[in-house]
Amino acid sequence: MESQDSKPIVASLLEPLPQLTAGRNDLGEPGVVELLVRGYVDQCLSAFQQVLGEELDLDTAIDAINGQATALNAVFLGTSGFDTVVVHPWNSADQLGVFLRDALDLDFAPEDCVRAGLIHLATHVMHAIQGGQDAWEQQVDALVGDMRDLLLGRLPGQ
C-alpha cells in the first residue's frame, strides 16, 4: 500500500535532476538512477538518525521508508505517472522486476521487487551504520552503487 506522502517525497527526489537531464529523468542514465538511489538512502539515514534521537518512533520510520520504496517501485517500473521520467522497456515488472527477484533471491511478485530490493538495501545500510566501523560511509557508497547497477540491469561488480 502506498503512503499518501510518498509521491511528494519521490517528486522531491526527482526535482534536482532536470538540470542534469534537460528536464527529463532518464532511467537509462546511471547518474539519474544513482541520484534516486542516493536520495532514498539519505532519507533512510535521516529516519534512522531520528529514531536514535527519539524524534521518531520505529514504526513511523519503517512506514516512511516503505512508502518511499513503494513510490520508487512505481517510478522504476514505469507506472508512477511522472511526465518528467523517461522509462524504457526494461522498466517493467516482467523485465526489471524479474531480474531483481532473481539477482537478489527475493520471494516477491515481480511487480513488487523494486520496493523489496530497496527495503533490502535499507536493511544493509542500517547494518553498515550499526557496525560502528569507521568505513561505514564507504560501505553505504558501495551499496548505492550496487543498487544503481541492479536497477540498470547489471549485476554488481561487472
For the chain, the domains span: 6-151
Is the backbone of residue 74 left (phi > 0), alpha (psi -120 to 50) or beta?
alpha
Report the alpha-carbon distance of residue 115 to residue 118 in Å, rounded. Answer: 5
Q: What residues have CB less than 8 Å from 8, skipping those under 6 apart?
A: none
125-145 pLDDT per residue, tens: 988 887 666 678 888 999 999
Report the alpha-carbon distance of residue 15 to residue 97 in Å, rounded. Answer: 25
* pLDDT band with cut points at 50, 70 and 90 for residue 4: very low
73-123 pLDDT per residue, tens: 999 999 988 888 899 999 999 999 999 999 999 999 999 999 999 999 999
- pTM of the entire structure? 0.84
